[in-house]
Amino acid sequence: GAGVSQSPRYKVAKRGQDVALRCDPISGHVSLFWYQQALGQGPEFLTYFQNEAQLDKSGLPSDRFFAERPEGSVSTLKIQRTQQEDSAVYLCASSLGPGLGTEAFFGQGTRLTVV
Amino acid sequence: GENVEQHPSTLSVQEGDSAVIKCTYSDSASNYFPWYKQELGKRPQLIIDIRSNVGEKKDQRIAVTLNKTAKHFSLHITETQPEDSAVYFCAALSSGAGSYQLTFGKGTKLSVIP
């Protein structure tokens, strides 16, 4: 594809609802990152995939957050029992190499609002 | 883990002046330092990057310098234009145990006054 694509662009969830956010990386990109960006803040690392392997999930804030990339391409970030503090923009990025020194391309993000 | 500090948080300059944004990092093993520009409501976009074996890199009006000993790197924008107004983020790439983390600073909101 032309770039990293995320869907939906906007999601409003009622508190306690489960949500799933999708990321379509650039075809052939090995590395995939998920970030959480609160209003007026920098992106905060959530998790990293190399192909289908989730090599780092140290940034996931709680066990309500789960990410997968089963076939090494499309990735889904799932948040269970959403809470108001989960409201943020969730950014996905992919890069060609395994992570070392190659440009990370970002998607437009999914803006999640929990009401 | 890596920690990236970025200053200033806001910066206003007159059109045509220069702007400088500074970042420090904590992990001496970090070896790749990109800078991203994010306009309101849009995705972060890479504007320039530098690797740890290089001290300075320039691309037209934008330059980045890296001091590995002091663990700091800076973005320099010369001849600023109104379209340079945006939030700028520095980042540092660290690796360990087969994984990679790109850690971002908190951002600098640059306003270029016509």
- Of all helices (H) and strands (E), which one includes residue A88? strand A88-95
B29 to chain A, closest Cα gap in Å? 12
Q: How far is CA B97 from the centre of its chain?
A: 26
Instruction: Please tell me the total number of residues recorded for chain B in this structure.
Output: 114
B86 in reach of chain A (CB within 8 A):
no
> Distance (Å, rounded) from C-alpha B21 to C-alpha B65?
11
Each residue's pLDDT tens digit, B73-111: 999 999 999 999 999 999 998 877 677 788 999 999 999
> Distance (Å, rounded) from C-alpha B52 to C-alpha B29?
9
Subunit contact B32:A100, Cβ cutoff 8 A: yes
Query: Which residues of chain B does A56 touch, with a Cβ-Cβ cutoff of 8 Å?
Result: 99-101
Per-residue pLDDT of chain A (115 residues; tens, 9 = 90+): 579 999 999 999 999 999 999 999 999 999 999 999 998 899 999 999 999 999 999 999 999 999 999 999 999 999 999 999 999 999 999 998 765 557 899 999 999 999 9
Each residue's pLDDT tens digit, B49-62: 998 888 999 999 99
Helix, strand, coil: what percent of chain B each, to 5?
A: 5, 60, 35
Q: How far is CA B27 from the centre of its chain?
A: 16
Looking at residue A44, what DSSP letter applies? E
User: B31, B22, B32, B23: which is closest to B3 by C-alpha?
Assistant: B23
B57 in reach of chain A (CB within 8 A):
no
